[in-house]
Amino acid sequence: MNILDKIIAHKKEEVAERKSLVPTKLLERSVFFDNKVVSMKKYVTHPEKTGIIAEFKRKSPSKGTINSAAKVEKTSIGYMQSGASALSILTDKEFFGGSNEDLITARKFNFCPILRKDFMVDEYQIVEAKSIGADCILLIAAALEPKRLEELAAFAHQLGLEVLMEVHDQEELDRSLNDQLDLVGVNNRSLKTFDVSLDTSYSLVDKIPDQFVKISESGISDPQTLVDLKKGGFDGFLIGENFMKSIRPHQAAYNFMNKYRELSPDFKTTAV
């Protein structure tokens, strides 16, 4: 059993337990449930923004603890003030050290699109995402049969949420693309081996239809890489570990985004 299989098996047990403790009707009474969704598609592709989806995560299966001291409020506000287009908040506790409360906190302090980064296997989690203030959910092609992925995406749209599908190779992309998606992300880190290669993004970018917003994810540590990926056809970039490994993630994000602006012709006249 690889790490992804292990995570999905645990997630199914976790969701079954949560369903028994907090019924869907209760989730629908949340103060966030009727909030208007902030569009991830629009913010990522906005010409005056960086296209960066800045991620908050405390640990990962491949790296162990990344940053256990960072605070969601300070980090998320700092990310957005630095010029991020959106936030990604890990809500998986067992493997990534996150929680629903992390996303709720980010929602309280930021008006921007927020991606709930988790391993979605059930409609219940999508209702839950809406109830904690998320605007977009992640569906991982490697973890879901194509029909099931499309069903979950359609359900998310019924609630007004946007959908980011994540793929790791051509096979996943070909079998899982459907009209219920809004954004397609290419994860440069294999969830099976955790090896990272930006070649994954470059090999798939032209295979993603232009109707979808294209995101390159993971392994991005140099602002010049963003310039190159942008030229290659990507609209946005998901960056987490590169910021979170710093003692002050928000400062790392600020320095990174300023350097990106200097390198990118799109931001020559943009002041911070």
186, pLDDT greater than 50: yes
d(CA 13, CA 11): 5
Residue, of 5 and 190, whose pLDDT is higher? 5
Whole-prediction pTM: 0.95
- The catalytic residue among 187, 201, 216, 242 is 187
Residue 185: predicted pLDDT? 98
Q: Does residue 262 carry a catalytic annotation?
A: no
Residue 234: pLDDT band (50, 70, 90) is very high
Mean pLDDT, rounded, for 22-42: 97
Q: Does residue 217 carry a catalytic annotation?
A: yes
Give the helix ranges, DSSP H, for the chain: 3-21, 24-27, 40-45, 72-82, 100-109, 123-131, 146-158, 170-176, 199-204, 223-232, 241-244, 249-263
- The catalytic residue among 60, 131, 201, 218 is 218
269, pLDDT greater than 50: no
Residue 237: predicted pLDDT? 98
- The catalytic residue among 217, 230, 241, 264 is 217
Mean pLDDT, rounded, for 106-113: 98
Residue 195: predicted pLDDT? 84
158, pLDDT greater than 90: yes
Average pLDDT, the chain: 95
Q: Burial, 151: exposed, middle or buried (Cβ in 10 Å; 0-12, 13-18, 19+)?
A: middle
Residue 37: predicted pLDDT? 96
68, pLDDT greater than 60: yes
Asked which of 13-27, 151-165, 183-197 is least confident by mean pLDDT, the reply is 183-197
Residue 156: pLDDT band (50, 70, 90) is very high
- The catalytic residue among 166, 201, 216, 230 is 166
Q: Which amino acid is at 62?
A: S
d(CA 165, CA 186): 9
21, pLDDT greater than 60: yes
Mean pLDDT, rounded, for 56-73: 94
